[in-house]
Amino acid sequence: MAMLAGVALLAPCAAASADPIVWNGPVVSFTKPDFADPTLPVNQDRLTSDVWLTRDDFFPLFNIAIEPDYTGGSPADTEWAFGPTQPGNPGPISATNYANLAFTSFVLSLDAQIGENAVRYGPGVVHLITDDIYVNVRFTSWTKGPGGGGFSYVRSTPGQPPVPEPGSAMLLLAGILAGAAARHLRFQARAVA
């Protein structure tokens, strides 16, 4: 019975829903040099186990984790938003404002002029679809045409996990103590019997 009380006390600590994740941690930089082999991990920005961004010697980005090279919809499992292609007034182009942004493919988000617009279009947001993660991104370089496939950007990283509210921490502690008390009572009952 005490064990059940411990489980009941732990239940409120579970997540109520799977909300999208916004990466708002420190910014990191990624660079894939011109003519660098996209199949080498050092030339892939491995955001999650599902999304590894890179580029061949020409063409746009692709997700080498799940596609062998660029296809018309690449990078697979991502969608992008940049300010100049947003309809209306969506507010800031930021991962925290994801709900107000219109996402599309990488190429369309840059008006199908990637070499001209990747850097010029300023801050953007990439949505990692399977993982439901939103990441701030700003391209700092893009090699045009068949010039080697180089690119660089800065992007956000995962933030720190939230600290449990004091009430949740107390419920967790109470559940642990209730479980320990139940084990102690069972041990004493066996010792007496």
- Over residues 38-47, the pLDDT tens digits come to 999 999 999 9
With beta carbons less than 8 A apart as the criterion, state whether 106 and 81 touch. Answer: no
C-alpha 33/C-alpha 73 separation (Å) is 23
Segments forming the whole domain that contains residue 135: 25-155
Residues 128 and 70 in one domain: yes
Closest alpha carbon to 96 in 23, 162, 28, 155: 23
Q: Are residues 76 and 136 in the same domain?
A: yes
- Pair (38, 108) in one structural domain: yes
Same domain, 139 and 89: yes
Is residue 160 a part of any domain in this protein?
Answer: no
Q: What total number of domains does the chain contain?
A: 2
Residue pLDDT, tens place only, 18-57: 799 999 999 999 999 999 999 999 999 999 999 999 999 9
pLDDT at 162 over 60: no
**What length is written for the chain?**
193
pLDDT band at 163; cut points 50, 70, 90:
low
Q: What is the DSSP string of 66-105?
A: T-SS--TTPSTTEEEEEGGG--S-----SGGGGGGPPPB-
Q: Which residues face 136 on adjacent strands?
A: 125
